[in-house]
Structures are given as C-alpha cells and as structure tokens.
Amino acid sequence: MNDQACEKSVNRRWQLSLSTMLLLVTLFAVGAGFVKARHDRNELQRLLATLRPMTRELSVDNPTQIAVVRRVPTLSNELIFDAYIPKPLVPTQVHRLCLVLEEIVDSGPFDVLFPQPTGSFDLQPGIHSIELRSTEADKNDVNSEHRFVVLVDGETVIKAKRPAVWQASNGWTSYGTISQSQAFDAKEAVQLLRRRNNEPNKNFSLSAPAKKPTNGVLLWIDSGD
C-alpha cells in the first residue's frame, strides 16, 4: 500500500494539466519570437549601418545644429558637401563659408587654425550644396595658374587663383573628411577641408611639414560669433 502511494506521488510530480502546458508553450513561443525579433532587428540595423556610408545622405536630427556630409565623389577630385545651416542663435549671427589658401597649420589655437579668410560668403539658413572646384597649374608652364572656385547651390560665390609656384611639389596631405552626416554646435567652426601642400622632407619623400604653416586649401563654415 505504501509502495503504491509512493509510486503515485512520483508520477504526479511530472504531470501537467492541459492549461499549464498551453501556458508554457505560449510562453516559449513568445520568448522565441522575442529573441528572433531582436536578432532580426539587430541584423537590419547592422545592414543599415553598412548601407548609410555608401549613400552619404544629409541627416538633420536637430534643427538648431549645423549638419554636414561630404557627398560620395564620382570623380577623384570632386568635393561636394551638403550642409544644413540653422537659424541664427542671435540676430547678429551669420554663418559664413570661408576659404584660405595660405598659412595653413595642422594644429594650434583657434585663430591660427582658422585665420582671416581669403574669401567668404554668407550662408542663409537652410540646406545648401557646397562645392570646391580646383584646377592645378600646368607643370610645364611657369605662367599657368592654380584656380579655385567655390560654388553654393551651383552658383560661384568665391574665386581665387595662385601662380604655379604656390604649389612647389606634387601632392598634399588632407586632414579628415566628413564622410558620414555629422551634427555640429551652431557656434562651432565646421571644417570642411584642410589640405596642406607637401614639401620634400629629410627622408627624400614628400609630406606636409608639421608645426609649420604651408600653402593649401582650408574651407570651413564660420559661426560668425
């Protein structure tokens, strides 16, 4: 009798009612579905993170900030940015597009990093395309010139030219590029391009000398503060 009771109690431990089974199966299905959905979402976000740098679209998440991205170039020397300029913080604030071709450094205090511009153009609030077109001087013609044209929304706004000797040797060193849409404080100076002309160094190769101003191209958006 005792054995029977014991056997019964052992069997009862593994018995589940139909409703409990249904509940457990439902919970498992919900849990598995949740894990799958999270996995799919992560995969999709990973895929989007791969796709976005290929399209380089301007993203304006905060309309009080400057947003900039360099477009995917279709030519090696093509340099076009899409930029969002916010409304001024104070009525006197003007965002200016600035170009400098001399005295360009790689580091230093703000007024050395961003000197008085060679040319500038006031940018109105809104989305603009900003393009720099540059043509190198003919190496075989000492009288030829380097030419620079800055266009905003397809219109020429800054023009500059320099004699062939402005760039003594081939090549330059570029510093950073905004290859994904980036937001900046509306008071910040936003560097679009810092390119310093190379010079022969003691290793008989070409590089832009550190801590020494050089000719080159510096294009930035000044906050006007």
Partner 1 sequence: MAVLKLEQQRLEQLVGQLKIDNPDKMQLKMVQRPSRDHIVWRIYLPGNQNWRLAENSVGGSSGWSSLGKSRATEGLLRFRIDRDDGKSKIHLIRNNVSSTTSLQPELADFLEAHWDELDVKIAGVDAQITESVNAIIPLIEIRLPAALKSLADKELSNLGLQTSATIFQVILGSEKAFEDREKLEQAKQNGGSP
Q: Indicate the residue among 94 and 164 with the shorter CB distance to partner 1.
A: 164
| φ, ψ at 130 (rounded to 5°) | -125, 125
Residue 10 within binding range of partner 1, rule CB under 8 A: no
Query: What does the DSSP 8-state code read for residue 126?
Result: E
Residue 1 within binding range of partner 1, rule CB under 8 A: no
SS3 content of the chain, % helix, strand, coil (to 5): 25, 35, 40
Q: Indicate the residue among 10 and 75 with the shorter CB distance to partner 1.
A: 75
| φ, ψ at 200 (rounded to 5°) | -65, 135
Q: Indicate the residue among 79 and 105 with the shorter CB distance to partner 1.
A: 79
Instruction: Pick the binder of partner 1 from 9, 76, 92, 107 (CB under 8 A).
Output: 76
Residue 140 within binding range of partner 1, rule CB under 8 A: no
Q: Indicate the residue among 17 and 74 with the shorter CB distance to partner 1.
A: 74
What is the rounded distance in angstroms from the CA atom of residue 44 to the CA atom of residue 46? 5
Which residues from 155-184 bind partner 1, rule CB under 8 A?
177, 179
**C-alpha dist (Å) from residue 156 to 77, 99, 130, 170:** 18, 13, 10, 27
Q: Are 189 and 110 in contact (CB under 8 A)?
A: yes
For residue 143, the SS3 value is coil
Question: Per CB under 8 A, which region of 3-11, 22-30, 42-50, 111-119 contacts partner 1?
Answer: 42-50
> Which residue ranges make up the site for partner 1 (CB under 8 A)?
37, 40-41, 44-45, 47-48, 50-55, 72-77, 177, 179
